[in-house]
Amino acid sequence: MSANIKEANLQAITQTIAYMEKKDECDEYILKKLKEERKKLLKELNVSL
């Protein structure tokens, strides 16, 4: 997968996480999985938090 696609996915996941965290009701399981995927993409792109 190219870096551009990974960066686009990272951006989409980050925006989704932000949206879900602002909602009063969100699926904690999905939120956890999105955060895991974001962490994986950051590692693949050699970005540290």
Which pLDDT score, from 0 to 100, does residue 5 have?
93
The boundaries of the domain holding residue 22 are 3-42
- pLDDT confidence bin for 25, thresholds 50/70/90: confident
How many residues does the structure list for the chain? 49
Q: Whole-prediction pTM value?
A: 0.83
User: Is residue 2 pLDDT above 80, yes or no?
Assistant: no
- Total structural domains within the chain: 1
Token pair of 48, please?
A: 């540290």
**Mean pLDDT, residues 18-44:** 93
Whole-angstrom distance, CA of residue 4 vs CA of residue 30: 24
Token pair of 37, please?
A: 């995927």
Which pLDDT score, from 0 to 100, does residue 26 have?
87
User: Is residue 11 pLDDT above 90, yes or no?
Assistant: yes
Expressed in angstroms, the distance from the first to the final Cα of the chain is 22
Which pLDDT score, from 0 to 100, does residue 1 have?
57
Residue 47 lies in a domain: no
Q: CA 2, 8, 11: angle at the middle one, nearest 5?
A: 140
